[in-house]
Structure 1
Amino acid sequence: MTAYPEVPADPGVKRQVLADHPDLMVVAFRFAHAGAEGKLHRHRHVQSTYVASGRFRFTVGGAPREVGPGDSFVIDGDVEHGCVCLEPGELIDSFAPRRDDFL
C-alpha cells in the first residue's frame, strides 16, 4: 500500500489520496477556512462525496445545496460541480474509475 502525501488543491484546500485502484479512488479534501473553494469543474468520473466534517455549499449541475457532517451524495460524470466552504472541514470523495491526474 502506498502512502500518498497531502498536496495543495486550491487556495485553502489540501488533497490526499487515501486509496486507489484502477476502478476506484478515495481522496480526502481538507478545507482550512470558510471561503475556501473547490472551483467549478467537470470530469468523466462518477463521484461520491461524504462530508466528514464542516459545512459546504455545493453547486451541482447549476443547483445549489448546503451540506454538513454525515451528508453524502453522488455526482454523475461530466456534470459541472464545485463547492464553497462555509465552516472548515473535510470531504471524502470516491471516484470511479480512478483519477489518474491525482497520482
Structure 2
Amino acid sequence: MTDLPVHVVANFTVQDAAKYREYEKGFFPILKKHGGEFITFDDSSVTFEGAAPPEGRIVLLKFPSQQAATAWYDDPDYQALSEHRRAGTTLNFLTMVHSIAPRN
C-alpha cells in the first residue's frame, strides 16, 4: 500500500499576537521542507451539528504521508519554533487525520 496523504488540524486562541507572529515568520519554510501544504485557516468556523470546537482559529494543513507529518512535527527546528506558538496561544488540539484509500 502506498502512503496516503494526511491532514493536520489545529485549533487555538491567540493570546499574544507578537509571539504568534514570531512563530508565523518561521513556519512556512519548515512546512515546505517536509512537503506540507497550508490549506486554510478560519477565525470564525461554523459548526452545523454537534459540539463546536472551542473558539479560536482553525488551521488545516496537508502532508503527502503520515511519515512526512510526523517528521515535520518532530523536526528540532519546528519544535524550537513552536515555543513561540506555545507562548502566544492556548492550543486546544493539534490532530492528524488520515486519508482513506480510494474506492474502486
Query: Is TM more than 0.5 here?
Result: no
Larger strand fraction of residues: 1
Q: From the CA coordinates, give the structure whose radius of gyration is larger.
A: 2
What TM-score bracket applies, with the shorter chain setting the length?
A: 0.3 to 0.5
Higher relative contact order (CA 8 A, sep 6+): 2
